[in-house]
Structure 1
Amino acid sequence: MRTGAAQLVAGIAAAASRAALSGLARTPVARRFERTNHRGEPVTMLEGPAFAVGALAGTAAGAALTRGMTATGGRTHAAAMIATAGAATFGVIDDLAESRTSGPDVSKGLRGHLGALRRGSLTTGGAKVLGISAAGIAAAALAVPRRPGQSAVVHWADVLSAGGVVAGAANLVNLLDLRPGRALKAVAVASAVGAAPGCGTASGAAGHRDLLAACVGAGAAVLPGDLGERSMLGDAGANAAGALLGVHVIATAPRSVRLAVLAAIAGATVASEKVSFTAVIARTPVLRELDGLGRRTS
């Protein structure tokens, strides 16, 4: 995708996100998205649904602009929309349930939700894990075509591992949404890496940079409110952003890279259950400076 087309996709995504945020803020449901942030100040999580609307609008625009550019272009854009919409939908459900369920008996984190499932209890967080995983696998089935001569077993192993990348990326970005702007900055850095020359396959990387443009455009539209501590992504926005990035990876990267990314995501997710990302960032000068960039100091 040429630079001008990518900028158009980003602009459409940004405009859609801004319009969605403004429109949603005037609806009766807006109060259900109000929360208290780490400073004890009120914020809205409508940023998440607004980001998702922008990302979907940008993806749809990208599909129209890149039609015919790659053999699997239409399938990849459909996969991106399924993954993004699914992640956002289950994220909204979990965000809304969060205000009604609190206390020491509420399961927290991926390990807590999976533990509840093993005990026969389905939390909204557990439903989100299952729902996003299903959306990830459905997206992977579209974005990872069966190659000529490939057995069904190998193909479905590819699909399942690719689905794991999408769902895992959705969860990982959500784990970063603990301080203003942190998750969106991570998304921007990941998008820059994905758009760099030489990343992905020759045809896939060129044909699907519009997915990254949609992600960056939607993120840029909501970043000022996030950094200003007026709004936050919440599960809906963070999961949607991660899922969209995940689809770009599985659509452009060869199997070896997909598996390496899956291993890295799994490692970071397991580590998050024992190590505080915030503490690690605070101890690392470069990360600390990037994390605080543009954020309120008091």
Structure 2
Amino acid sequence: MTGGALRTELERTNYAGRTVTLAEGAAVVGATTLLSLRAGRADAAVIGAIGALGLADDLIEPRRRRAGLPVEKGLRGHLGALRRGRVTTGAAKAIGIPVVAGIGALLAPGPRRPVGLIVDAGIAAGSANLVNLLDLRPGRALKAVLPAAVLLAAVPVRAGEAREARESSGAALALAALLPGLTALPADLGERGMLGDAGANALGAATGTAAARRLPVPARAALLAGIVALTAASEKVSFSAVIDRTAALRRIDRWGRRPLPVDEGTR
């Protein structure tokens, strides 16, 4: 594929009718994966694999749409296609990301209790999906990821050999999300690029894994419950509509964004 063809393949039209590129998301995956090596090779492999699953969805789904083939939306749609015997890229993500996150939890430093492994994998996989669900407007996903990553990177690591190894890897993963996210923010807000599934999944997985390793058990359980509740709600409720109806959220969401050429709709 030539450079021009690749640029065209990565171009998308965003909600405001402007042309953006998914190259931002691909770069974020690469940078986050590389920086995750500070946490460990296993973590870098997990983040890279989750980002690759998102990139496959970014590239294959539009091709199917251009070819006039059916394209499912939402978790329910992808799982429905799977029950009918067709594996969509969304279904591959719905299965693959939790499996990869589970492997990451199993290989993480610290104790390996079954319930803890399930919670940690759920937080990592759920965060990857939730950040992707937020990536419907410029900067929205990054405005959720960056404050969380700052907090998770800044909190001092608690003493104790096993605890220190686990929390240090979590802090490294938070930085692995923070630095590429900050770098991507101007292009995202300027509507020159977008995270896409690839970048959103990678940043969400890195931040979620960092939270799983840095938070105490009760906070992790509460976080997972919140992620599950928001994910379930997304099947029924438009996040954009809720944000637009809530003044404080609307101000945060629109901060730094370019003015709309037309009235904004919701989706």
TM-score (norm 2): 0.86
Aligned residues with identical type, % of pairs: 45
Aligned residues: 254
Q: Report what 1:254 is aligned to.
A: 216
Q: 1:40 to 1:110 in 2, by over 3 A?
A: same
In structure 1, what is the equivalent of residue 85 of structure 2?
A: 120
2:247 to 250, 268, 285: 285
Pairwise CA distance, 1:158: 2.3
Report if aligned partners of 2:36, 2:47 keep a CA contact under 8 Å in 1: no
Aligned-partner Cα distance in 2 for 1:236–1:197? 28
Residues 118-154 of structure 1 show CA distances to partners (whole Å, capped at 9, x for unaligned) of 232211110122121111011110126436xxxxxxx
Match of 1:165 among 123, 130, 134: 123
- For the Cα contact (< 8 Å) 2:169–2:210, is it kept in 1? no
Structure 2 distance, partners of 1:141, 1:30, is 38
The answer to whether 1:211 aligns with 2:160 is no
Q: Alignment partner for residue 189 of structure 1, among 147, 161, 175? A: 147
Kept in 2: contact 1:144–1:159 (CA 8 A): no
Q: Secondary structure at the match of 1:106?
A: coil
CA shift for structure 1 position 207: 5.7
Q: Which of 136, 152, 169 is the aligned partner of 1:178?
A: 136
* SS of residue in 1 equivalent to 2:120: helix
Given that residues 83 and 240 in structure 1 are in contact (C-alpha distance below 8 angstroms), is that contact kept between their aligned partners in structure 2? no
Q: Name 1:9's counterpart in structure 2.
A: none
Which stretch of the first structure deviates more once superposed, 209-218 or 265-274? 209-218
CA distance in 1, matches of 2:69, 2:55: 22
Secondary structure of 2:209's match?
A: helix
Distance (whole Å) between structure 1 residues aligned to residue 22 and residue 195 of structure 2: 6
Task: Select 1:101's aligned residue among 34, 50, 64.
Answer: 64
Q: Alpha carbon RMSD of aligned pairs, Å?
A: 2.4
CA distance in 2: counterparts of 1:169 and 1:49, whole angstroms:
18
Does residue 40 in structure 1 map to residue 17 in structure 2?
yes
Alignment of 1:276 onto 2:238: yes
For 1:219, the aligned partner's letter is G
Q: Report the Cα offset of residue 254 of structure 1.
A: 3.1
8 Å Cα contact 2:49-2:100 kept in structure 1: yes
Inter-partner Cα distance in structure 2 for 1:199 and 1:286: 33
Is 1:156 the counterpart of 2:100? The answer is no
- The residue type equivalent to 2:205 in the other structure is A
Return the alpha-carbon distance in structure 2 between the equivalents of residues 156 and 43 of structure 1. Answer: 43
Where does residue 55 of structure 2 map in the other structure? 92
Structure 1 residues 99-108 or 175-184, which shifts more? 99-108
Structure 1 residue 78: Cα displacement: 3.3
Unaligned runs of 5+ in 1: 1-24, 64-75, 148-154
Partners of 1:165 and 1:144 lie apart in 2 by 16
Give the drift of 1:227: 0.7
- TM-score using structure 1 length: 0.78
The answer as to whether partners of 1:80 and 1:247 remain within 8 angstroms in 2 is no
Q: Distance in 1 between matches of 2:177 and 2:255?
A: 20
SS state of the match for residue 101, structure 1? helix
Q: CA deviation at 1:187?
A: 0.5
Corresponding residue SS for 1:169: helix
Question: Residue 236 in 1 paired to residue 201 in 2?
Answer: no
